[in-house]
Structures are given as structure tokens and as C-alpha cells.
Structure 1
Amino acid sequence: MIEKLRKNVEDLFEAAPKTHRAYELKEELLSNLIDKYNDLVSSGKSEEEAFKSVMSGIGDVDELIKGLKDQDVLNYEEIQKRREKSALVLSVSVGLYIMSVVVLLIFNEVFQVNEVISVSLMLTIDAIATGLIIYNAASRSKYIKADDTLVEEFKEWKSTTNKEKELIKSIKSIVWLIILALYFIISFTFGIWAFSWVIFIIGAAVEKVITLSFELRKYKNE
């Protein structure tokens, strides 16, 4: 019966563009259908009843395929505007991170300002940049399903997954920018260039911890 499900999904996606993204969406949808089918069988329904129930609840696949052709399940123009806004926010954030290090060096080396003040100023600028990145990731629009069909549930799930990926990416970017800033601060302050590179190894470990944390949270939610 699983093969029958796969064949039906293959038929539904026959008009979809032959792209890697279309293939991934098809496989993800099929996986959701199989999970739904197995749940129904486990609850006592016969294989045929479960199959019919799953297929009847799929919904409008044509709209999903149209979304594939537009390169997203959401409105294409909206995606373009969102990308432009995201690029602007990230560019400003990166500029602020770089500027914070420059400010630290100028205040310390040129104006001989107290290190506590200069570091505090740098951290303030970094905090603003970090806030912008977090806002950029958290403010992304979420797809609201129009009904309870599997296609609509799939679209909502896909939108949430993409948003989570963007959030993870933003957090990792923040971590590495902070690591880079700390590298320069420690190196310039203590003059230990021969050893300060170790902080990048720590950064790699932190990145793995972040990834693992999100994976564990996803596992618990399931």
C-alpha cells in the first residue's frame, strides 16, 4: 500500500518542474502521507480505509505545484521583498559588528580611552547588531493554512521549517561574529596572537551545540 501511495504522489507531481527542490517537496509530502497512513492503520483502520482517508485529505496539490513554479509556496513578490529587507538588515548588522571592532581599536590606540568604556561601547554596538539579526529572523511571515487538508498542513509545516532554518542560520552568524570580535579583543588586549586562535575551535564546538539543541527540541516536539 505504501507503493500505491508513492505512485499516487508521483502522478500528482507529474506536472511539477523537474528540480531538486520539487523532488524534496514531493518526498517530504510523501513522508507526511505515510506517517498519516501508518497512524490510521495503528488506530484500527484497514489498509484500504487508511489509504482512502489519506488520499481524500490531501487537498489542492495544483496550488502547491504552482508555488513550486514560482520558486516558493508563498507569493513570489513577497519573497523578493523579504529577501531584500533581510539582505539590508544583515548588511547593516555585519557593518555594525565590523564598526564595533574599529571603534574599540580607535578608542584604545588613538584616543587612549579607558578599556572598560571602549569595550562597553563595542558591546553596545554588537548588541544592536545582534538585535537586528534576531528581529530579522523572528519577523518572517508564517504561512497560515486555509483548511485542514494535508497539503495545507504541509505548507504550514514547510513555512515553519524554513523559518527555523533561517533562525538557526542567524544564530550561527551571530556566534561567529562574536567569536571574531572576541578574537581581536583578546589578541589586542593581551597580545597572545599565538594562542588566541583557539577561540575558533571553541566557536566550532558552540555551533555544533546550537545545531544539536534544535535537533533535540524537534525530537521532543515529535
Structure 2
Amino acid sequence: MQARAARTRQALLRAAALEFDRHGYTATSMTQVCKVAGITTGALTFHFGTKGELADAVQDHGCQTIRAAVDRVKTAPRPALDLMVDLTICLARLLEDDACVRCAARLTRERPGAAPGWMACWLPTIRELAHRAQRSGQLSAGTPPAAVASLATCLLLGTEVRTRAALQAERAPDGAGQLQELWGLALKGMGLDRKG
């Protein structure tokens, strides 16, 4: 019985992530989520009393995936600047491949303050890595860590927008590849020393 309930919950989370990601919070109906999941409305309301509770659960699931990736990347034995670049590229791949992650990003914009935002899952680590890069001498003199963290944030947010546009146009997104190229240009242009 518990295994069946867990499978039903997972099916609802997957279906809701797809629907919220495609149509947004306001345009997604509980009926459509049930249809996509192949589950009755009664089963949905057993697990999630409201659309808000369902959206919170999807956003939380996406944020758990992001936090796991952040923890994995930030502990690798590489210089801090490389880890920052690696982290943004890892997150770009998650945006391409995981509807829950994309959904967490979209729901953060559409429901500010409703649940922990997706940026809260990675931005503190980006800032920490920028400061570590400065302390280790990876940043050239006069390059503020806050500006490097802002650059990383802007590149990642732009990657999310480009990924969503490619998917909506039914094209394969290459946000991670484009992000790698942009990092190369940005670091070279700022005279940053990317070792490793």
C-alpha cells in the first residue's frame, strides 16, 4: 500500500512538473495534471490538498536535485574559479534535462516567496566560490568577487531563458555548451586566470 502511494505521489510530481514547466502556475489545472499522470482527482487531493501544495512539492523536489548537484560539484578537488564555472554548467545541464529543475526556476518567478527559490539553492555557493577564488589569487587585481558572482548569475539566468525557448520551439537545447563558450570569452576578456 505504501509503495503504491509513493508511486502515485511520484507520478503526480512528474506530471505537475511537466505541466507547470510548459504552461506556468496560473494556466496549469489540477485536472490536467491528473490526466497527464493518469491518476484520479481523488488520488491527487489525497496527496495534495491544493494546487499551491502541489507546486510547493514540485519546487522542493527540483531544489533537492539542485542542492545535491551543488554539494557534489563544490567539493571536487579543483580551484574555486573552475568549480564556479563547473557548477553553472552542471546547473545548465539540469535545466536542459530535468523538468522539476526547470519548474523550480519558473515557479520561483511566478510564485515569489511561496517556497525556497531555486537561486537560493546555488547562489550562496557561487558567492562563496568567488570569494575563495579571490583569496587564492585566481582573480586579477581589481576584480571584485561580487561582480564575478553576478556574472555567473546572469549567465545562468540567461541560460535558463534560452533553454526554455529552445524546448518550446522543440529544438534540442545546448545551454551548457553555450555557457562554456561564454565563460571562456568572459574570463579571457576580464583577464581572469583560470587554472586547472
Provide the TM-score with structure 1 as the length reference. Answer: 0.30
Query: RCO (CA 8 Å, sep 6+): is it higher in 1 or 2?
Result: 2
Report the structure, 1 or 2, having the larger helix content.
Answer: 1
Give 1 or 2 for the bigger CA radius of gyration. 1
